[in-house]
Structure 1
Amino acid sequence: MFRNYLKTALRNLWRYRRVNAISLFGLSVGLACGIVIFLLVSYMFSFDRYHAKADRTYWIVTDLHHENVVPTDATPRPLGEILRRDYPFVESAVRVENIFGRVVSVPDGKGGFSKKFDESRTLCFTEPQYFDVFDVAWVNGNPKTALSVPNTAVLSERYAEKYFGTTNAVGRVLRYDNQTDLTVTGVIKNPPSNTKLRYELLISYSTIPALLGSKGQQAMQSWGNVTTVCFATLRTGASVEQLVSTLPIIRKKYLSALEAKTLDFHVLPLSDLSHNPQYGGESPYLILYALIIVGLFLVAGACINFINIATAHALKRAKEVGVRKAMGSTRWQLIGQFMTETTLITLAAVVVGMLLAQLGLPALNNALSMLNADLSILDLFLPRSLLWFAGLIVGVITLAGLYPTLVLTRFKAVAALHGQMTTQQVGGLRVRRGLVITQFFITQLFCIGVIVMMAQVRHMQQADLGFRKEAILTVPVPTNNPIKQQTLRDRMRQVPGVEQVALGAEPPASFRRNPVPFTFDTHTEPEKFPTSVKIGDTNYLSLFGIKLLAGRNFRNNDTTNAETLINETMVKQLGLRSASEALGKRLTIWGNDRTIVGVVNNFYSGELKMGLQPIVLLNIHRENDMAALRINPASVPATLKTIESAWNEQFPERVFKATFVDDLLKNFYITERILLALAQVFSVIAILIGCLGLYGLVLFMAEAKQKEIGVRKVMGASTNQLLWLFGREFGWLLAIGFTLAAPVGWFVMNNWLKSYAYRINLGWWVFAVTLSLVTIITLLTVSFQAMKAALTNPAKSLRME
């Protein structure tokens, strides 16, 4: 019987190949989008869940309580050791300190270096317990002892090859930041892409004290600085409540009264490492769930197309059904026949969809390059994906095939054989209208989302940040020696094309520093809110175009400088009536007393999501990590070469790295740009799928109104009047879809915009543009088939009467 179903299905698919090709194309596109989205979401949800102890490993974070709560992803240094040593329910705990912007060199054995690398984000200090908590595959070395003593390091295979040209690197020596020699004691497999712990060079945690100088040991025992990421693995059977209840006890026992009031520890599951945006997660759960809904919408839209086209085509197969029933076929046999056809089309669509998805995955992997994403269509056959993929196929077969099959199999044999079937007997217009309204809803919802996201991203990119960012180049300052810094400043000024030079820690807007507590004037307690700190010399304000509103700039770059500048927001939050009222007041920060000598205009110090923050500007030479150079845009290539040459002359042991401030600021909008790109692609797909759905409905309407159109033409109706029959039908369907989509779109996008302190207003124009765009697309889609039906010879449509 199945062989008969299959043979007959193949014949019918070929016989109605034009209609089936349209169905196949629509279903393939929808499935391709669904596959890409579900692969992406599955990949994101897999982050750091592969560790054997992931379900009992927890991430401890700290909230800094001032007037506002400032979440951080780290803890004080001693916490991990206390947990590991004093609490038996903790199987292991490990401390990790991330390293940013350090030079790693390979000695040449002659007092110089054969290779130099500027490393960032893939380095960390950590303990041997790291390999107890996290699953790491070893190539060479002993995980128990590899990081047990100072000045030792473990490399990934990739970094061993990069530094030494071989993975046999145990015993080799690296120079860290031109300060310390590190002996390689182990080589591990490259970290997978689905982890946030992408460390390729792990340095022993016990190396830190010597790097911190004379106060190194004291700093390691300090509870006042939140610098170390801490993970704790509980013993089998222990509950997370034990860990949660222990943290307040530790806080009370080891922290001073002020520290205990300021620091608040929280416990998060390891799986939150990539999904909690409050603590640096790059893929929030809300976005992932939204992507799942988008994928379901696209697949559902493709299934709606299939249903529309299949039922519109049903009348052409009425006699076939009548003959089968007259020959003794049961309804279940007919269901088996038609579901076989649906299954074949769906399986073919799955294959084509997989091919289309594979063509799109390189672009997605490139967009996610910061995650080292390596999505492949083969991921569908991994255990984590196989279940939902099989469910998707079964769901599509059921959703797309069941309704048309039930419609076809309920035909009455006598009516079908006599050609007396009507459109009402194949489901009528009511169901198709509901399906098309659903598609209009989905399409307009996508359009609203894309329009709002485009406007918001453009708004942020064109925002006045309160400082100049054009034609400003940043280069490293790899010394805290004030004489060498002055030499660098003077040398850069001499480069043709360099108009101005300033030293500082970072541009006015950056990702780097957490807010810090401070004391104002004669107050004995820190203020209720922390402040962001920016470091810059006497040229910093003028180079970045930051304006003084009151007072003056730093008087000089002397090492004894005890002056500070603050911004307007700081003045406001201190409760002062005017900027001039702050001048001459004392401000104590980082343990040093400073005098406020100037007030500057507000500028954004971080992502625009954060809004304007209170800011303190300090001139401290030991904090200078960056030289900012304003260069003449007319001679950029030649100027860059001269700058690099002059820089290398002064710091031959370091790695030159130059970045324009414009490019640095683009990193603020990476998430938004990726989301916008995805939304734009999926919106185009949704519109395409919607157009196919409209084609299915207009095909059905042309069949349903064939005789009505013939009668109207005989009675003298014009072509425009006949076209109005179609226009009126689609007009009110579009209006209903818009009425449903507008409030949902407003609610969703308004809540999305609330996460930005600097945002657009969600005005009426968004909905006007959406309605206009979808109206134009609808007219273009239905006009050809409607015109064809209106111009049909009435004799042809009435000859059966």
Structure 2
Amino acid sequence: MLRNYLKTAFRNLARQKGTTLINVSGLTLGITCSLILFLLVKHLSSFDNYHTNKDRIYRVVSNSDGNNGKSYTPGVPSVLPDAFRNDFPEAEEVTFTSYRSGAMITIPQRNDVPKKYNEEAGVVFAQPNFFKIFDRKMLIGNATKGLDDPNEAIISLSLAKKYFGREDVIGEIVKYDTMEYKITGIMEDHPNNTDLPFSLMLSYITIKKASEANGWGSIWSDEHCYILLKEGEHASAIQSRIPAFVQKYYGDDNFSHQTFELQPLQDLHFNNQYETYTYSTSPKETLVALSIIAAFLIVTACINFINLTTAEAIKRSKEVGIRKSLGSTRAQLIAQFLGETTAITVVAMLLALGLTQITLSFLNTFLELQLALNFSSDGLLWAFIIGVTSVVALLSGLYPAFVISGYRPALALKNQIGNKNSSGYSLRRGLVVFQFVISQFLIIGTIVLVSQMNYFKKKELGFRKDAVVLVPIPVVEKPTFKKGASKMRTLREEVSVLPGVELASLSSTPPSSGSVSGTRFTFEGEEQKDRKRAQVKLIDGNYINLYDLKLIAGSGLEDLDTARGFLVNEQLLKTSQIENPQDIIGRKIRMWGKTLPVVGVVKNFHTVSLRSPIEPTIMLNDLEEYETLSLKVNPAQFQNVINEVKTKWEAAYPEHIFDYQFLDEHIREFYEGEERMSIMLTVFTSIAIFIGCLGLFGLATFMANQKTKEIGIRKVMGASVESIVVLFSKEFVKLIVLGFVIAAPLAWYIMNQYLNDFEYKITIGVEIFGIALGITLSIAVLTVGYKSLKAAILNPVKALRYE
């Protein structure tokens, strides 16, 4: 009997080539997308889960009052760890990390030019007890002793091979900045699912004294403190004593209400209030959204299967009647039809695995990840494959199997199975509505995301960003009284006269940057309690002209090495409740131990991404802090300019590696996550629409099969092809509009929640919903139109003879 079932199943699948192909295609696409999303969500959910003591590890983070509510940073004062260790005995270990993103590493050579490497991953200054808290296997050397003394380093296995061509490099020297470090240990490479991506660790004791010189008043976002609680201790016991800890070290001068909180390690990658060393977080809402999309794509594929199978079911009514007449039970028929469904699902799963493998080779490059199908070691992957295959086979096949096996033999043999006899037509329409709720929700979400990205690209930022090249200044300099003695000043003057260079400027950062300095200031005569927060930019005299910042009062800064006055933005006036820009000119501001007059006011410009509001900003001269050479270039002469600049830059800094970046590219990096998400959502939405159209095709096929004679009669009575196509299409337009009515308010609410993360954003207007509905109707009408037209142009004689 089993052999007979298998023969029958394969014969039926081969006979209905079109339906089988559509079913396999829909399921393959749905499973492929859900599998890719499963791998992505699994990866994002696994960050730092591998640490043995993960439930006892916490990061100390900082909160304080800002100009626009609370200000959050993962950084802490560098003096905090020692104080924390003394005041909280509940902590078994307390460690401190000071990270430097982007690093120039030099490997000295005895009789040759030193090897130079630009390490984008940077370096971290760490304490030896880091390895007592976090799991990082030491391959050669002693982890707990390797960073005990000044000028010691532990490097990863991959860096050891990269720098020296071998694994055992104990005793070798690496040079960072101006100091040399002796390698004392080789550690395994960090996994790609960690927010502690360290490949080169230097002993913190080397810089401890200099780092702690600023005391409790200095916080840098890349200096983190981690603790390991003792067994049985609770974070709440420490958190309740934090206020007393803050009072002890800040006293009554804590006007910004600085405080600290304990953040669980397992919250690091999901909390976007605080950054991590990967500069990337994945809010849990995002993971939930991706999981729901994955589930929806599988469900829509299953709906197609149901619609197409039941639409073709009438053609098998005689088979069912004969089998039942010969004694087949309903259970046997259900088993046969479920077997056919399972065969299609297994084929679709195998094809999906192959398609996923091909897709990952492109997707990993796009997302900068290392997702993979690890069949030998990934138990969750096998659970997904087996679970999805079983669920899809049941979801797709159970209902059609019950419908088809339920045909009454007498009616089936007489070809009297019709619309009234075939159950589930309303359910099929409901399933199509559900498909288009999903599709239109995704379309609206995609349009909002793409519109927001276009808004980012087109919004005026308050400064010139086109044709500006950023070149790093790798060596910090001290101001001198002799103007020409500065290397960076000399370089600026040399490149400013090159053909194609219109202007050159030195600064800490460009106007909009991911690296932001901040401080608190007061006007002369105000008390400490009146201090306000401001961002700080260190600039030279050419900065305002190069970036075309608009001066609305006073003058720009002189081209000096040290500050003699401050330049401020409009937002600082607003925060200080000063209405007339002229009223602030000459008023003195106290900041960073300086008391200097305000010499000018510029129009507001965006200093960070458009997620955040414009902050009060103070600009001043400070040669010691210049890290960027900005060049306004003529695009037509760009390549010649870069070659000339490289030659002069390398002459000034021969020990370093030349690099550059366009300002507009630098700004675009702020929104890389959103850009990637919008592209992925566009792809998944397109696939969801395609799968949804297969569902419409299934329902149109069902209607065409049911109404063949009706169409023939209508044509004999004089109905035109156009009127018949319209008659068909009206039914589907109703279903699509119903789906839209459900999807639109849901999408409006959820996408508004998403946009609330941005200070500057689009408004979700009626046109977005109009575009979404228009896209859906156009695609659906084209899909249905094909089947409608095919039915409408059928010879009425053949239609009236249709059995």
TM-score by length of 2: 0.95
* CA shift digits 1:249-272 (9 cap, x unpaired): 322333332248532212222122
Structure 2 partner of 1:153? 153
Partners in 2 of 1:5 and 1:258 — Cα distance?
Answer: 84
Structure 2 partner of 1:337? 336
Partners in 1 of 2:377 and 2:655 — Cα distance?
Answer: 49
Tell me the SS of whatever aligns to 2:117. Answer: strand
Partners in 2 of 1:55 and 1:491 — Cα distance?
Answer: 57
Structure 2 partner of 1:174? 174
Alignment pair present for 1:513 and 2:507: no
Structure 2 partner of 1:490? 493
Residues 379 and 528 (structure 1), Cα distance of their counterparts in 2 relative to 1, 3 Å cut: farther
The answer to whether the Cα contact below 8 Å between 1:698 and 1:785 also exists between their aligned partners in 2 is: yes
Q: Which amino acid aligns with 1:611?
A: P
Q: Which amino acid aligns with 2:761?
A: R
Structure 2 partner of 1:473? 469
Partners in 1 of 2:407 and 2:310 — Cα distance?
Answer: 12
Partners in 2 of 1:531 and 1:691 — Cα distance?
Answer: 54
Partners in 2 of 1:684 and 1:86 — Cα distance?
Answer: 57
Aligned residues between the structures? 790
Residues 503 and 350 (structure 1), Cα distance of their counterparts in 2 relative to 1, 3 Å cut: same
Structure 2 partner of 1:235? 230
Residue of 246, 262, 270 corresponding to 1:267: 262
Q: Higher mean Cα deviation, 153-162 or 525-534?
A: 525-534
How far did 1:431 drift? 1.3
Alignment pair present for 1:14 and 2:17: no
The answer to whether the Cα contact below 8 Å between 2:440 and 2:743 also exists between their aligned partners in 1 is: yes
Tell me the SS of whatever aligns to 2:586. Answer: coil
The answer to whether the Cα contact below 8 Å between 1:139 and 1:189 also exists between their aligned partners in 2 is: yes
Structure 1 partner of 2:91? 90
Partners in 1 of 2:518 and 2:285 — Cα distance?
Answer: 27
Tell me the SS of whatever aligns to 1:64. Answer: strand
How far did 1:793 drift? 2.5
* CA shift digits 1:538-559 (9 cap, x unpaired): 1100011001100011134143
Alignment pair present for 1:502 and 2:505: yes
The answer to whether the Cα contact below 8 Å between 1:480 and 1:622 also exists between their aligned partners in 2 is: yes
Residues 779 and 144 (structure 1), Cα distance of their counterparts in 2 relative to 1, 3 Å cut: same
Partners in 2 of 1:423 and 1:231 — Cα distance?
Answer: 68
The answer to whether the Cα contact below 8 Å between 2:255 and 2:531 also exists between their aligned partners in 1 is: no
The answer to whether the Cα contact below 8 Å between 1:66 and 1:527 also exists between their aligned partners in 2 is: no
Gaps of 5+ in 1: none
Partners in 2 of 1:579 and 1:703 — Cα distance?
Answer: 77
The answer to whether the Cα contact below 8 Å between 2:73 and 2:274 also exists between their aligned partners in 1 is: yes
Structure 1 partner of 2:386? 390
Partners in 1 of 2:327 and 2:79 — Cα distance?
Answer: 82
Partners in 2 of 1:64 and 1:186 — Cα distance?
Answer: 39
Structure 1 partner of 2:52? 52
Alignment pair present for 1:449 and 2:445: yes
Q: Higher mean Cα deviation, 785-794 or 382-391?
A: 382-391
Partners in 1 of 2:698 and 2:66 — Cα distance?
Answer: 61
Q: Which amino acid aligns with 1:311?
A: T
What are the residue-to-residue correspondences of 1:711-726 with 2, within 5 Å? 711-726=713-728
Partners in 1 of 2:249 and 2:351 — Cα distance?
Answer: 62
* CA shift digits 1:199-252 (9 cap, x unpaired): 110111111136x3xxx5544x54643552112122232222223224333223
Partners in 2 of 1:101 and 1:28 — Cα distance?
Answer: 42
Residues 381 and 103 (structure 1), Cα distance of their counterparts in 2 relative to 1, 3 Å cut: closer
Q: Higher mean Cα deviation, 232-241 or 38-47?
A: 232-241
Partners in 2 of 1:27 and 1:623 — Cα distance?
Answer: 58
How far did 1:358 drift? 1.7
Structure 1 partner of 2:311? 312
Partners in 2 of 1:456 and 1:217 — Cα distance?
Answer: 42
Q: Which amino acid aligns with 1:780?
A: L
Partners in 2 of 1:251 and 1:701 — Cα distance?
Answer: 73
Structure 2 partner of 1:204? 203
The answer to whether the Cα contact below 8 Å between 1:77 and 1:223 also exists between their aligned partners in 2 is: no
What are the residue-to-residue correspondences of 1:529-568 with 2, within 5 Å? 529-559=532-562, 561-568=563-570
Partners in 2 of 1:330 and 1:603 — Cα distance?
Answer: 77
Q: Which amino acid aligns with 1:673?
A: E
Tell me the SS of whatever aligns to 1:423. Answer: coil
Tell me the SS of whatever aligns to 1:480. Answer: coil
Q: Which amino acid aligns with 2:123?
A: L
Residues 248 and 17 (structure 1), Cα distance of their counterparts in 2 relative to 1, 3 Å cut: same
Partners in 2 of 1:573 and 1:646 — Cα distance?
Answer: 44
Tell me the SS of whatever aligns to 1:75. Answer: coil
The answer to whether the Cα contact below 8 Å between 2:586 and 2:599 also exists between their aligned partners in 1 is: yes
The answer to whether the Cα contact below 8 Å between 1:39 and 1:380 also exists between their aligned partners in 2 is: no
The answer to whether the Cα contact below 8 Å between 1:548 and 1:598 also exists between their aligned partners in 2 is: yes
Tell me the SS of whatever aligns to 1:541. Answer: helix
Q: Which amino acid aligns with 1:399?
A: L
Structure 2 partner of 1:700? 702
How far did 1:88 drift? 3.8
Q: Higher mean Cα deviation, 222-231 or 196-205?
A: 222-231
Q: Which amino acid aligns with 1:488?
A: L
How far did 1:50 drift? 1.3
Structure 1 partner of 2:326? 327
The answer to whether the Cα contact below 8 Å between 1:517 and 1:526 also exists between their aligned partners in 2 is: no
How far did 1:588 drift? 1.4
Structure 2 partner of 1:576? 578
What are the residue-to-residue correspondences of 1:374-413 with 2, within 5 Å? 374-378=370-374, 382-413=378-409
Q: Which amino acid aligns with 2:351?
A: V
Structure 1 partner of 2:759? 757
Residues 799 and 632 (structure 1), Cα distance of their counterparts in 2 relative to 1, 3 Å cut: closer
Partners in 2 of 1:750 and 1:798 — Cα distance?
Answer: 54
How far did 1:799 drift? 3.1
How far did 1:638 drift? 1.2
| Identity across matched positions, percent | 36
Residues 379 and 254 (structure 1), Cα distance of their counterparts in 2 relative to 1, 3 Å cut: farther
The answer to whether the Cα contact below 8 Å between 1:562 and 1:593 also exists between their aligned partners in 2 is: no
Partners in 1 of 2:418 and 2:524 — Cα distance?
Answer: 88
Partners in 1 of 2:140 and 2:287 — Cα distance?
Answer: 38
The answer to whether the Cα contact below 8 Å between 1:501 and 1:628 also exists between their aligned partners in 2 is: yes
* CA shift digits 1:168-223 (9 cap, x unpaired): 2110011110x21100111111111111211110111111136x3xxx5544x546
Q: Higher mean Cα deviation, 193-202 or 418-427?
A: 418-427
The answer to whether the Cα contact below 8 Å between 1:522 and 1:586 also exists between their aligned partners in 2 is: no
How far did 1:165 drift? 2.1
Tell me the SS of whatever aligns to 1:424. Answer: coil
Residue of 665, 668, 685 corresponding to 2:667: 665
The answer to whether the Cα contact below 8 Å between 2:140 and 2:186 also exists between their aligned partners in 1 is: yes
* CA shift digits 1:269-308 (9 cap, x unpaired): 2122221111124221111111111111111111111110
The answer to whether the Cα contact below 8 Å between 1:173 and 1:181 also exists between their aligned partners in 2 is: yes
The answer to whether the Cα contact below 8 Å between 1:224 and 1:259 also exists between their aligned partners in 2 is: no
How far did 1:383 drift? 3.0
Aligned-pair Cα RMSD in Å: 2.0
Gaps of 5+ in 2: 480-484
The answer to whether the Cα contact below 8 Å between 2:612 and 2:758 also exists between their aligned partners in 1 is: yes
Structure 1 partner of 2:482? none
Residues 670 and 230 (structure 1), Cα distance of their counterparts in 2 relative to 1, 3 Å cut: same
Structure 1 partner of 2:243? 248
How far did 1:518 drift? 1.5
How far did 1:711 drift? 2.0
Structure 2 partner of 1:69? 70
How far did 1:668 drift? 1.0
Tell me the SS of whatever aligns to 1:288. Answer: helix
Structure 1 partner of 2:602? 600
Q: Which amino acid aligns with 1:233?
A: L
The answer to whether the Cα contact below 8 Å between 2:518 and 2:535 also exists between their aligned partners in 1 is: yes
Q: Which amino acid aligns with 2:72?
A: P
Q: Which amino acid aligns with 1:107?
A: P
How far did 1:332 drift? 1.9
* CA shift digits 1:332-379 (9 cap, x unpaired): 22222211111111111111111122222122211222xxx1111236
Residues 405 and 648 (structure 1), Cα distance of their counterparts in 2 relative to 1, 3 Å cut: same
